[in-house]
Amino acid sequence: MSDAKTPFELMMQQAQEMAKAFNPALESFSPKGFEKLWPTMPKEVMEMFFGKGLSQEGLDAKTRLLLTLAGMTMQGAQAETPYRMTVRHLLEAGATKEEIAETIAQMAMFAGIPAMTKGMDLAREVLAENEEDET
């Protein structure tokens, strides 16, 4: 067997080497740092856009965001930045750590343990940052 790389792997390696040559600081670049620049919407704004403002008899913003988190977990929590931002918005909307964890755990039945585990890991990051900010 050979360790030959696919054309995609070769292209990615070449792009990374080119980026390092242009700007050595890009070697340690992480897009995760940009997440903190995106503001968390106030609870009242979320309620107006995503909750009772949409339908007086419908779901509140917290419930809609919990459903969003469940759907994102079902997809394997692939979109990490939106996933973490949804957890941030859930905390702002009044969700407890237990409600967030229970929502993610429930998805293990439908999406599998790997999807649930990745979702829990991402949520833990946000919860840990939130606890640091509160102290």
Could you tell me if 93 and 61 are in contact, meaning their C-beta atoms sit under 8 angstroms apart? yes
User: pLDDT tens digits for 66-113?
Assistant: 999 999 999 998 889 999 999 999 999 999 999 999 999 999 999 999
Q: For residues 10 and 33, what is the distance between their CA atoms, to the nearest angstrom?
A: 27
Please give the structure tokens belonging to residue 34: 């940009």
CATH for 100: 1.20.1290.10
Please give the residue range of the domain that contains residue 65. 33-134
Q: For residues 53 and 130, what is the distance between their CA atoms, to the nearest angstrom?
A: 27
Q: Please state the pTM of the whole predicted model.
A: 0.69
User: pLDDT tens digits for 24-57?
Assistant: 766 666 666 667 777 777 778 777 777 766 677 7
Residue 74 — φ and ψ, nearest 5°?
-60, -30
Is residue 38 assigned to a domain?
A: yes
Q: For residues 71 and 54, what is the distance between their CA atoms, to the nearest angstrom?
A: 20
